[in-house]
A and B are shown apart, each in its own frame.
Chain A
């Protein structure tokens, strides 16, 4: 599936992360990361976001991550949700649970 529009998921609450995906046509993944725990977890957050995007098959996108101490499971879920929103597709409930959705 292709990213068609800007897709956002998550909140700015403590222990959550807000992910924004914006379609681009080239240039790979352009990641902007802000986090309240960047000094201790910035590397892990970045790795988690990039791994999730790869799994979802996103090659080119502008990605904005605004983290307030989310756990890895939350980060994955927010990336996946932002992806489906950006794709603007009606999955009719047939999400790939356990496949690209972890």
Chain B
């Protein structure tokens, strides 16, 4: 069955069973589930009526045993420690050592730090993966069909919806925390490896049957105000290190000096400034990639020229937006993840820099997340096709190596979604006829800025009029694709086997696309 972005969704994918019995549907277009109702799932939670002094257990192994983890269960993790994370590997090692198998990992994201999990997949111990990001060895083994069930890939907002709706049920959540007290009140500041916020883990703490907080810095009770509330926590474990602090918080991303990136960033800022939403009190999100980040720098003089300020900025926060706020040009920063030490330092001291939950950020099924009020979002892409569909998950070889993250959430929510990407990367045409995998549907993407020109989604007549009025040149996206192919040649289609290795869920829980097992290339 073909979905509304023209992707064939095999029966095998539509038949994948969700925990709550909900049936998968193909993607039906933007806003499809608006106005419908969901019954939220609830955890089975132990009563702690008799006072105990402490929930601390001596080791992760003890916590695994105390939680009663059995074959076939689902365990969850968050990705605030990014590539510095030790938690996933430490916990999985204990689960495997106890001989438990048929485990599903439901993480907010996974990365290169989790290469050891690839081996558990090959051994058939880990049989399910639900995540936003999948990279490195894990991406490789899943792409080669080694995971028993298709991986389910969701956006950050889509994950919260799936947990709240009961598509996935978390038996045990393991939440790494920079600090915690003996009752499990956990914070992301004041420890050895601070990550600033614990936004993605909040839904896990509220919807998992058992919750374990793992920290390397125990602090005096009560550890307030907490990101993860002790009332939701069963056990606390102290370990030597939750992660590598240098990789948990990297130094501020260097502002790009690449003239191509700077040109695209400047053009993006001009486009933003030409739209009707660029007025006092506007809201904004940008990614941490080179050209996206550089947009901050070019936006500032345009704001000054018009005498306007930004009311709020959201998203993965970087030092760049914190600097802009320090100059008095941004009202509030609402933070779901910190990308650098500058952002972490800022939330420690700045009363107008707030932590929010992943649900508040991007959940399509709550009563209105921040993304629904967002004016502009500037995003990157691996590929964009002539229908404005974006791919951020599969490489040109068809192997999983990315993460939808907040891309589809912000793109659908924002009034104006701008994708910034060079026309080609090496021999790869970024603007192509058909993306390998649709991760953000074209009906949510409004403007594409490349080094060879700008294209506006023909559905957005309002933006086209605004750009025309401002004298900003734009071309049909087909022209950009033809230009790209004239430079690098027309790529051959990738060759796939029949087996579905991953399901790309739209944020509303319909199926946007599938990834099949890659067929080795023979010349």
Determine if B491 is an interface residue (Cβ-Cβ < 8 Å): yes
Determine if A7 is an interface residue (Cβ-Cβ < 8 Å): no
A46 with B426, Cβ < 8 A, contacts A40-B492, A41-B492 known? no
A46 with B523, Cβ < 8 A, contacts A39-B397, A39-B494, A70-B427 known? yes
Determine if B48 is an interface residue (Cβ-Cβ < 8 Å): no
A24-35 to B contact mask, C-beta < 8 Å, 1/0:
000000000100
Determine if A23 is an interface residue (Cβ-Cβ < 8 Å): no
B390-425 to A contact mask, C-beta < 8 Å, 1/0:
000000111000000000000000000000000000
Whether the pair B523, A44 counts as a contact (CB closer than 8 A) is: no
Q: Please measure, in the bound complex, the distance between the C-alpha atom of A11 and the C-alpha atom of B508, giving whole angstroms.
A: 47
Q: Please measure, in the bound complex, the distance between the C-alpha atom of A71 and the C-alpha atom of B426, giving whole angstroms.
A: 8
Q: Please measure, in the bound complex, the distance between the C-alpha atom of A69 and the C-alpha atom of B396, giving whole angstroms.
A: 11
Contacts of B521 in A (CB 8 A): 38-39, 42
Whether the pair B427, A37 counts as a contact (CB closer than 8 A) is: yes
Q: Please measure, in the bound complex, the distance between the C-alpha atom of A44 and the C-alpha atom of B487, giving whole angstroms.
A: 14
Contacts of B427 in A (CB 8 A): 15, 37, 40-41, 69-71
Interface residue total, chain A, C-beta cutoff 8 A: 18
Contacts of A68 in B (CB 8 A): 426
Chain A residue at minimal CB-CB distance from B522: A42
Interface magnitude class on chain B: 10 to 19
Q: Please measure, in the bound complex, the distance between the C-alpha atom of A44 and the C-alpha atom of B493, giving whole angstroms.
A: 12
Q: Please measure, in the bound complex, the distance between the C-alpha atom of A69 and the C-alpha atom of B489, giving whole angstroms.
A: 11
Minimum Cβ distance to chain A for residue B290 (Å): 16
Determine if B113 is an interface residue (Cβ-Cβ < 8 Å): no
Q: Please measure, in the bound complex, the distance between the C-alpha atom of A28 and the C-alpha atom of B397, giving whole angstroms.
A: 30
Contact residues, A52-88 vs B (CB, 8 A): 68-72
Contacts of A69 in B (CB 8 A): 426-428
Whether the pair B494, A37 counts as a contact (CB closer than 8 A) is: no
Which of B398, B426, B494, B518 gathers the greatest number of chain A CB atoms within 10 Å?
A: B426
Whether the pair B494, A40 counts as a contact (CB closer than 8 A) is: yes
Minimum Cβ distance to chain B for residue A42 (Å): 5
A41 with B491, Cβ < 8 A, contacts A33-B523, A46-B523 known? yes
Q: Please measure, in the bound complex, the distance between the C-alpha atom of A42 and the C-alpha atom of B427, giving whole angstroms.
A: 12
Whether the pair B488, A38 counts as a contact (CB closer than 8 A) is: no
Contacts of B45 in A (CB 8 A): none
Contact residues, A1-52 vs B (CB, 8 A): 14-15, 33, 36-44, 46
Contacts of A72 in B (CB 8 A): 489
Determine if B123 is an interface residue (Cβ-Cβ < 8 Å): no
Chain B residue at minimal CB-CB distance from A45: B523
Determine if B59 is an interface residue (Cβ-Cβ < 8 Å): no
Contact residues, B25-83 vs A (CB, 8 A): none
Minimum Cβ distance to chain B for residue A14 (Å): 6
A15 with B426, Cβ < 8 A, contacts A39-B397, A71-B487 known? yes
Whether the pair B396, A40 counts as a contact (CB closer than 8 A) is: yes
Chain B residue at minimal CB-CB distance from A14: B426
Contact residues, B484-521 vs A (CB, 8 A): 487-489, 491-492, 494-495, 518, 521
A71 with B488, Cβ < 8 A, contacts A14-B426, A37-B396, A39-B396 known? yes
Minimum Cβ distance to chain B for residue A13 (Å): 10
Minimum Cβ distance to chain A for residue B422 (Å): 13
Q: Please measure, in the bound complex, the distance between the C-alpha atom of A33 and the C-alpha atom of B494, giving whole angstroms.
A: 17
Contacts of B428 in A (CB 8 A): 37, 40, 69
- 8 Å CB contact of B426 from A36, A42, A43, A44: A36
Q: Please measure, in the bound complex, the distance between the C-alpha atom of A68 and the C-alpha atom of B425, giving whole angstroms.
A: 11
Chain B residue at minimal CB-CB distance from A40: B491
Q: Please measure, in the bound complex, the distance between the C-alpha atom of A39 and the C-alpha atom of B521, giving whole angstroms.
A: 6
Contacts of B487 in A (CB 8 A): 71
Contacts of A43 in B (CB 8 A): 492, 523
Q: Please measure, in the bound complex, the distance between the C-alpha atom of A29 and the C-alpha atom of B151, giving whole angstroms.
A: 43
Q: Please measure, in the bound complex, the distance between the C-alpha atom of A72 and the C-alpha atom of B491, giving whole angstroms.
A: 13
Q: Please measure, in the bound complex, the distance between the C-alpha atom of A15 and the C-alpha atom of B398, giving whole angstroms.
A: 20
Contacts of A37 in B (CB 8 A): 396, 426-428, 491
Q: Please measure, in the bound complex, the distance between the C-alpha atom of A37 and the C-alpha atom of B523, giving whole angstroms.
A: 12
Contacts of B491 in A (CB 8 A): 37, 40-41
Q: Please measure, in the bound complex, the distance between the C-alpha atom of A36 and the C-alpha atom of B488, giving whole angstroms.
A: 14
Minimum Cβ distance to chain A for residue B260 (Å): 14
Minimum Cβ distance to chain A for residue B289 (Å): 18
Contacts of B398 in A (CB 8 A): 39
Contacts of A40 in B (CB 8 A): 396-397, 427-428, 491-492, 494
Which of B397, B398, B427 gathers the greatest number of chain A CB atoms within 10 Å?
A: B427
Minimum Cβ distance to chain A for residue B150 (Å): 21
Q: Please measure, in the bound complex, the distance between the C-alpha atom of A33 and the C-alpha atom of B495, giving whole angstroms.
A: 18
Q: Please measure, in the bound complex, the distance between the C-alpha atom of A46 and the C-alpha atom of B426, giving whole angstroms.
A: 18
Chain B residue at minimal CB-CB distance from A36: B426
B222-250 to A contact mask, C-beta < 8 Å, 1/0:
00000000000000000000000000000
Contacts of B492 in A (CB 8 A): 39-44
Whether the pair B523, A42 counts as a contact (CB closer than 8 A) is: yes
Task: Give 8 closest A-B pairs by Cβ, nearest first.
Answer: A69-B426, A40-B491, A69-B427, A39-B397, A42-B523, A37-B427, A39-B521, A46-B523
**Interface residues, chain A, CB within 8 Å of chain B?**
14-15, 33, 36-44, 46, 68-72
**Can you show 27 pairs from A to B with CB atoms below 8 A apart?**
A14-B426, A15-B426, A15-B427, A33-B523, A36-B426, A37-B396, A37-B426, A37-B428, A38-B397, A39-B396, A39-B492, A40-B396, A40-B427, A41-B488, A41-B491, A41-B492, A42-B521, A42-B523, A43-B523, A44-B489, A44-B492, A46-B523, A69-B426, A69-B428, A71-B427, A71-B488, A71-B489
